[in-house]
Structure 1
């Protein structure tokens, strides 16, 4: 890496930098090398770290510590809910006939792959799955949802916020609708926590997934909130860790770090206000200073830090690489590989054309992003877009010679 260059990070929906509070706590956390399950002196400090982190995370989302299960991340938490509930309804003793009939699952067409692929797995095992469509603004078709909910629905899983567009979904209302049919409700809140306040009691959800590296902690640690009284089979069988809900010796270092950032949750409302103003400022400048740009889902309620841009006539992956050369890290709305471009399934599900999806760029701000950085990014984007459009025009002219 060229140390003389200045780097600016605008991809906080992919992962976040580790905050200084965690970095400062790591040396002490690393000294707690014992096994938390040991009853001798070596296990006491790790056990205390787990207890403190569990309480901090529970307080942050308004849950009970007993409702917190530590996992390796959001994908494991998501898989635990979907596969664990399906298995429980198939194998558990003493289920009612009504519970055994619940083989129907619902999710949206714009979920994270860990949900989509888990749902496809359930379908291969005999489950019936309905995928709720969204419109061009990313808004869920609630009429479709209501029409397909039934007394056979076991679980509805809908993300709190879309990772590409930032669209926020009506989780509380959808959970109420699911409960009216006797179904359980799960939300993948990985993109929510750290960007907006999350209160699982207010939302009324039965399960929620979180990931530490999405809110300024370490990778490899996540959380599954499971409301008291709900049962799912363990995804990982082993010892009695996590009250027999997730086998394996706990990642004390990662869990301790997660507890450190969970204690900062009181800062989120203030950050929401700051990020919203900064994002709106950025979008206003881009729309006024660069031609033929649209904000995907710009008319809906979104995460305060997220902008999904469609810049007509400019390939998103080429923009990404050009901005990277200038020191700006962003993400493209199209998951492309060289020679085989495949536009983002999320953007296509919203009704964008393949060209629009391939001309997309996702910009996601963070707690420490400054207006000076945003101004620099906009200037760099203007130069990149002008150059790429000029190249495209010249290539088009040469074709007509």
Structure 2
């Protein structure tokens, strides 16, 4: 029996930072608690090991169903970041192309990558991508005019800061016409949009459990059939000899439970659009100088990037925290750094404006009361700041 969507979160305050990490769902916690009784190593051949292996493979099947693939195409990793590194570093010799708004774990994995632009609304510029791909004509390195191998394109499906949905399928068609491989970071899309690696036409896809209401410390790299990246972690034969190390049994079981719930709850996730739209509408009515970033593009239902000119995002986050409201300023992976958002900068915002945005991200614990609490605290803060500036 699943918990009703939007049931009040049991902790005090309004948690509106699901894109950073979603609270652990009760069903996931229960599955992990049961898995604690499994004492065998999943690689052991005795009965205890076989029981543990069965739990891993059941979870693998659930994650595969979420991604629209066969279980053998799922490789478990220690995080979404590791899966991104696995994808981008698993094909030596291929130059990497990324959009300018990718997550830091993509940008840092291959700092040599060539970046292509996005439009003002935060959508990947396919014309800019096509121009970059012209440099990699899809021929063997010894026949290519400049001696380079075909490229590897990495394009996220949903931006973690703005919620803007990217044209991954269209980009994949452009890339495959040049014999490039295509990787998609789908961490922020899973559980919010229907996912299918074949339908997107990509070769690799990254997922992460803790964005789904699963545990931290476990992710997955989904591979097209027949694709064999080089191992990132070497040692034993786990994960088809692609990711050595004893499997994180509890985390994997939790990931499987979260994946099953995510697949079942896609319609409920879409229903968050009503809450998100009310939040944005009432925020802009109360504070007309505020803006919603990416509002003109297709977005997932749960994410709002609000810019309040003249008030730093970090200040907004701290002020809201004192009011019992949790939001983020940019990506949680870099929120400790006081710097403007590279995503908003890529969208054409100047440094001062880009530093004044916060991200509000809803999820399975969100309800009208949480939105009300945010609106009260954020509106009071904005009006107080306006009086101070005056």
TM-score of the superposition, structure 2-length normalised? 0.90
In 2, Cα distance between equivalents of 1:6 and 1:254: 26
Any runs of at least 4 consecutive aligned residues in structure 1 with deviations exceeding 6 A, and if so which?
Answer: none
RMSD: 1.7
CA contact (8 A) 2:16 2:326 kept: yes
How does 1:1-400 map onto structure 2 within 5 Å? 6-86=12-92, 89=93, 103-120=94-111, 123=112, 129-149=113-133, 150=136, 151=138, 152-333=149-330, 341-393=338-390
In structure 1, the gaps of 5 or more residues are 90-102, 124-128, 394-401
Partner SS state of residue 153, structure 1: coil
Partner SS state of residue 209, structure 1: strand
Residue-by-residue CA offset, 1:107-132 (whole Å, 9 max, x unaligned): 11111111111111xx3xxxxx3211
Q: 1:302 to 1:24 in 2, by over 3 A?
A: same
Residue-by-residue CA offset, 1:29-54 (whole Å, 9 max, x unaligned): 11113111111122022101111001
Structure with more relative contact order (C-alpha pairs < 8 Å, separation 6 or more): 2
In structure 2, the gaps of 5 or more residues are 1-9, 139-148
Residue-by-residue CA offset, 1:351-387 (whole Å, 9 max, x unaligned): 1111211211110001221112212211111111112
Partner SS state of residue 163, structure 1: coil
Residue-by-residue CA offset, 1:227-268 (whole Å, 9 max, x unaligned): 111121100001111111110000000000111111123334
In 1, Cα distance between equivalents of 2:95 and 2:319: 46
Q: Which has the higher helix share?
A: 1
CA contact (8 A) 1:333 1:358 kept: no
CA contact (8 A) 2:64 2:70 kept: yes
In 1, Cα distance between equivalents of 2:195 and 2:376: 35
In 1, Cα distance between equivalents of 2:11 and 2:193: 32
In 1, Cα distance between equivalents of 2:263 and 2:43: 31
Partner SS state of residue 90, structure 2: helix
TM-fit CA distance, 1:392: 3.3
In 2, Cα distance between equivalents of 1:192 and 1:336: 21
TM-fit CA distance, 1:336: 6.7
CA contact (8 A) 2:80 2:207 kept: yes
Q: 1:343 to 1:336 in 2, by over 3 A?
A: farther
